[in-house]
Amino acid sequence: MDSYKTISEKKIGEGYITEKRSKFLAYAHHVETVEQVKEIVATYRKKYFDARHVCWAYMLGPERTEFRGNDDGEPSSTAGKPILGQINSNELTNILVVVIRYFGGVLLGTSGLIVAYKTAAAEAIADAEIETRLIEEELTYTFTYPMMNDVMRIVKDMQPRIVSQTFDNTCEIRLAIRKSQFEALKAKLSKLSFE
Identify the sign of the CA torsion 102, 108, 112, 114: positive
37-41, 144-148, 157-161: least confidently modelled range: 144-148
Cβ-contact 179, 135 below 8 angstroms: yes
Q: What pLDDT does 48 receive?
A: 98
**Average pLDDT in the 34-56 region?**
98
pLDDT in tens, 93-136: 999 999 999 999 999 999 999 999 999 999 999 999 999 999 99
Angle at 9 between CA 120 and CA 13, to 5 degrees: 15
| pTM recorded for the entire structure | 0.81
